[in-house]
C-alpha cells in the first residue's frame, strides 16, 4: 500500500463532531486533558449562523485551539458566508458535514444525503474556500442506501477533491437514510476499514482521516500508523481521560499528562467563571460525568454530580466536593488492598 500523506500534527488525532456532546464546555475539558488533539464543534447549520444567534453558536474559549467548525448546509452561497464567519471567529478548519443521517438533516437535504450529489458538494467546497484562509474539509460516509459501490465513492472523492478539498474524514460505514435511526446508523452498518485503506492507496496525494468504531487510544494509534490519521467519536465523550496519553503517544510531545484531580480543579476554575456569567450548572457538569470511567470511585463520582447538580443553590464547587469523595473512596480501596497483600504475606511466612 502507498505511504499515506503526512498530515498536519494537529490532525493526526481528533475528536469527532457530535450533536449535544461536543459543545464548548466539553471541548474545554478535553483540551485540559490533551493539548494537541484536534477538536470539532457540534454541527452548526448555515441557517443557525446566518439567521440566528451566530455569536452564541461560534462561541469558544481561546484555549480550545486547535478546534474546527463543522457546518451543515447545501447552498454554496450560504456555506461560503458561514465559512467566512467561522474563519473570522478564529477556527482552525472549516468542515462540511456530508455524513449525518438524521431525519431532520435529511429533510433539509444536507448531511449524508449529499453523497448522492457530489457536484453540489464540490460547489459548496469551492465557495467555502473563496471566503476562508483555513483548510476546508469534508466528513462523509462510504456510501448511502444502495449507492454504496466503491466506484461511486471514488467519483465522490474525485469530484470534491477537484474543487479543492484535500482532506476527507471518512466514517467507515454506509448510512441508511430510511429505516435506521442515527444511533442505529452508528452501530448496525458494518465497519469497512478496508475501504479507507483502499482510498489511501488510490489517492496518496490526499489526506484521509479514519472514523468509526474506535474505542480506545490504542485502536486510534493503530489506525494512525496505517492510514495517517484517526478520529475518535463517542468513546472520547463517554471517557474523556482516554485522551490523556494522546500528546505523548500520538504527537510525540514530552511531559506527563495531568491526572484527573488536576483536570477537575482546572475545569472547576473555568466552570466558576462561566457560572458567574450565567451559564447553568447542568451543561457545565455533563462533560465531567465520564472522567473517572473505569477507575475506583467512578460510580460515586457520577452519583455525586448527577444528584448534586439539580439541588437548590448548587454551584461548580460541587465538582470539588465530588472529587474529594472520589479521593476518599480511592484511599479506602488502596488501604483495603494493602491489608490484603499484607495478610497474604504474613500467611505465606
Nearest to 210 by CA among 264, 160, 142: 142
Nearest to 167 by CA among 109, 63, 119, 96: 96
Name the catalytic one among 100, 124, 165, 200: 100
Nearest to 231 by CA among 25, 46, 93, 87: 93
Distances (CA, A) of 40 to 19, 65, 155: 11, 10, 27
Clarify whether 165 is annotated catalytic: no
Nearest to 25 by CA among 275, 293, 297: 275
217 and 171 Cβ atoms separated by less than 8 Å: no
- Which 3-state string (H, E, C) describes the chain? CCCCCCCCHHHCEEECCCCCCCCHHHHHHHHHHCCCCEEEEEEEEHHHHHHCCHHHHHCCCHHHCCEEEEEECCCHHHHHHHHHHHHHCCCCEEEEEECCCCHHHHHCCCHHHHHHCHHHHHHHHHHHHHCCCCCEEEEECCCECCECCHHHHHHHHHHHHHCCCCEEEEECCCECCCCCCHHHHHHCCCCCHHHHHHHHHHCCCCEEEEECCCCCHHHHHHHHHHHCCEEECHHHHHCHHHHCCHHHHCCCCCCCCCCHHHHHHHHHHHHHHHHHCCCCHHHHHHHHCCCCCCCCCHHHHHHHHHHHHCCCCCCCHHHHHHHHHHHHHHHHHHHHHHHHHHHHHHHHC
What amino acid positions are annotated as catalytic residues?
100
Amino acid at each position: 500500500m502507498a505511504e499515506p500523506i503526512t498530515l498536519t500534527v494537529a490532525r493526526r488525532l481528533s475528536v469527532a463532531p457530535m450533536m449535544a456532546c461536543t459543545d464548548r464546555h466539553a471541548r474545554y475539558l478535553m483540551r485540559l486533558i490533551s493539548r494537541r488533539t484536534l477538536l470539532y464543534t457540534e454541527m452548526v447549520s448555515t441557517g443557525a449562523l446566518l439567521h440566528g444567534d451566530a455569536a452564541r453558536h461560534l462561541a469558544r474559549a481561546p484555549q480550545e485551539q486547535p478546534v474546527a467548525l463543522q457546518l451543515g448546509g447545501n447552498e454554496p452561497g450560504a456555506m461560503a458566508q458561514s465559512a467566512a464567519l467561522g474563519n473570522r471567529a478564529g477556527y482552525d478548519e472549516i468542515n462540511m458535514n456530508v455524513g449525518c443521517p438524521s431525519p431532520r438533516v435529511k429533510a433539509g437535504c444536507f448531511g449524508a444525503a449529499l453523497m448522492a450529489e457530489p457536484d453540489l458538494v464540490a460547489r459548496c467546497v469551492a465557495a467555502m474556500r473563496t471566503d476562508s484562509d483555513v483548510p476546508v474539509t469534508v466528513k462523509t460516509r462510504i456510501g448511502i442506501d444502495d449507492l454504496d459501490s466503491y466506484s461511486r465513492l471514488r467519483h465522490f472523492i474525485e469530484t470534491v477533491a477537484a474543487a479543492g478539498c484535500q482532506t476527507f474524514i471518512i466514517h467507515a460505514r454506509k448510512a441508511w437514510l430510511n429505516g435506521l435511526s442515527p444511533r442505529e446508523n452508528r452501530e448496525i452498518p458494518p465497519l469497512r476499514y478496508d475501504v479507507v485503506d483502499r482510498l489511501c492507496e488510490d489517492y496518496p496525494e490526499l489526506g484521509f482521516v479514519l472514523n468509526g468504531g474506535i474505542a480506545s487510544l490504542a485502536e486510534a494509534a493503530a489506525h494512525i500508523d496505517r492510514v495517517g490519521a484517526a478520529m475518535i467519536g463517542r468513546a472520547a465523550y463517554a471517557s474523556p481521560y482516554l485522551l490523556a496519553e494522546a500528546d505523548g503517544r500520538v504527537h510525540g510531545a514530552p511531559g506527563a499528562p495531568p491526572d484527573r484531580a488536576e483536570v477537575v480543579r482546572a475545569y472547576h476554575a473555568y466552570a466558576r467563571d462561566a457560572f458567574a456569567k450565567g451559564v447553568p450548572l447542568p451543561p457545565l457538569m455533563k462533560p465531567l460525568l465520564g472522567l473517572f470511567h473505569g477507575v475506583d470511585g467512578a460510580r460515586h463520582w457520577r452519583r455525586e454530580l448527577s444528584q448534586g447538580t439539580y439541588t437548590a443553590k448548587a454551584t461548580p464547587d460541587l465538582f470539588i466536593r465530588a472529587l474529594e469523595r472520589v479521593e476518599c473512596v480511592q484511599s479506602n480501596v488502596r488501604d483495603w488492598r494493602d491489608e490484603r497483600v499484607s495478610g497474604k504475606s504474613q500467611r505465606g511466612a
